[in-house]
Every structure is written in structure tokens, then in C-alpha cells.
Amino acid sequence: MNETQKHMLIVITSSIALLLWALLIILLVMIEVELNKEEYSYGTNFGLNWASSPTYEIKSEKTLGCPVGESYSFVQTYFPGFQQFCFCPKNNTYTPTFCGFLQVKDGCLTYNSTSPKTLVSWGGTLCSKRNNKMNYFNYNFSNSNNFFNECGKGYKDCGNANSIGEKLCVHKNEECPINYLKVININTTANTPELVGQRGFPVNETNFSDGQKKFIYSNMNNKGKTINQFTILDHKPCADSAENKIILLNTNQEYECKSKINGYTYDPSWTLIDTMTLKNLAKDNDLLS
């Protein structure tokens, strides 16, 4: 195992890729931000589980739990656990066994094997606020067969709802879910008059990663895709969601998806939005205990 292995954090949106598997429909969007050569990919999978509601607010908490009324953004995202290994900080190398006498004398440390663990943190516990009374089945959508593809009278357009072009429509007095999400450096100003004018809307901000970065998000981008949930991967997302789990491959290896769904082997709709080292991911989620 080498620290230059990559991981992706993936967010699920309500844009539907029409990839049917076990009654799960997934649609994704991603932006890549490279931090350094030792990177973990923190991507966003904008896919939608039919039974869940899109996300209306995102927060990063310093505590393990989420506030009342919010839930973990990661849904069934697991780290497989480490095998026993020896880490030598002087040359930043790993060997898949316990440290020998000379290695210990040189300052190397043995880490015992660990059990699988649920991931909840990405630079802080990631929490989401949802409308628990709503799900994909009871939302309103535009008619993509109509030339204008507009929401009905009394409703407003909240952005793309699926890959066949339907729009998510809510009552004009209700708020849209988040339909714009990006990760930027903490020192970057997001709401200058020029940037607001370019985007067409202001953004909310929430800091994470010990104040080094921040999410910026909005629910005013009716050309965007609504966000449902996040996950973390270390390989290109597969069309078959059963293959979308952390593999911990060596840096010179790339996981090859096995199954095809409707002609797709890889899901083309996932997007990266941030990166993190394995060391930081382990620290965030206490993976070595």
C-alpha cells in the first residue's frame, strides 16, 4: 500500500443516468481539484436513490455527530480496513508486514490490522439537511416531451432532474434543494460582485479541513443538478454500484470495472470535487484504531 493511492468522494444528484440496478437509479456530476502528488480523490456522485430526498443544506462539523434535524451525508460508505504494515517515516515507505529489528531501530512503526469502518468525515463530519417528507416519487417534474419543457403554473424550475431532460419543479413558495456545489480554498472570495454576476446567483459557504477549504453551494442554479448524497472511492466509478467500494490498489494499478449495465462499464456521470491524502483520511475517521 502506498500513500499516493487515490480516493474519490462522490456526491449523488437527482440527475438520473437511467442505469437500473436493484431498483437504484444513479446520476452523477464531478469537478477535480488536485492538491498534491499524494492525493485522495474527494469526488461527488450526483446520483439519486429513489427513496431519498435531495440535499437542502451542507455542513461540516468538528464533532462526530450531526445536529438535530440533519444526517450524515455519507450513506453506507465503508473503509475496508488496513492489513498489518510497517511505516518508515524517514523515507515515507510502507511494507505489508511488521517492522523488522533494523527497521524499528531506524524509527519505523508497525501498525496492526484494522476492521472495516464506516466513513463519516471529510475534513470534518459531513452533515446534510433533507426534506424527509419528500422523495423521488412525490416530486413534480416538467414534461420533456413538451417543446418548452417548463414547470406547471404555480411551480418553479429547480434544475435538471434526470438524463431525459425533465426539470425538478417545486411550488413557487418552496425552496429548491442544492443545485450548485464546489470546493474552493478558504482564502478565495466567493461572493464578489463580479463572481455573483458571472454565476447569476450568490453562494453559501461552509468551512472544512481545519479551515483550509470550504464548500460553496446554492439552490438558485436552475441549470444545475440537485445533490442527494456523498461517498468516497479510490477508482473510477463503475456502472454497477456493487463495485463502487474502496479497493486500496497500488499506485501503478487501476481498478477495472467488471459488470456492464445498459452497455455501460463505467458510470460517465460521476465528478471529482476534492482530493485528500490517505494519511488525512485515516486521521479524519480514526482508521488506525
pLDDT grade for 12, boundaries at 50, 70 and 90: very low
Out of 172-176, 208-212, 220-224, 250-254, pick the least confident: 250-254
- The residue ranges of every structural domain in the chain are 8-81+116-285, 82-115
SS3 103: helix
Could you report the per-residue pLDDT of 190-236, keeping only the tens digit for each? 999 999 999 999 999 999 988 899 999 999 999 988 877 787 888 88
Phi, psi torsion values for 49, nearest 5 degrees: -80, 125
* Mean pLDDT of the chain, nearest integer: 77
Residues β-bridged to residue 217: 181, 204
Given the C-alpha cell 479510490, which residue does it identify?
234
Q: What percent of the chain has pLDDT over 70?
A: 77
Looking at per-residue confidence, does 248 or 101 come out higher? Answer: 101
Looking at residue 112, its pLDDT comes to 86
Q: Whole-model pTM?
A: 0.76
Looking at per-residue confidence, does 11 or 187 come out higher? Answer: 187
Average pLDDT in the 39-62 region?
Answer: 64
**Side chain identity at residue 194, one-letter code:** E
pLDDT grade for 101, boundaries at 50, 70 and 90: very high
Instruction: List the grid coordinates of 136.
Output: 423521488
Q: In angstroms, rounded to a whole number, what is the distance separating the alpha carbons of residues 29 and 181?
A: 10
Instruction: List the grid coordinates of 205.
Output: 459557504
Looking at residue 200, its pLDDT comes to 96
pLDDT grade for 32, boundaries at 50, 70 and 90: very low
Instruction: List the grid coordinates of 259.
Output: 459488470
Q: In angstroms, rounded to a whole number, what is the distance separating the alpha carbons of residues 217 and 56?
A: 10
Given the C-alpha cell 458571472, which residue does it identify?
198
Looking at residue 14, its pLDDT comes to 35
Out of 28-42, 94-108, 186-200, 206-220, pick the least confident: 28-42
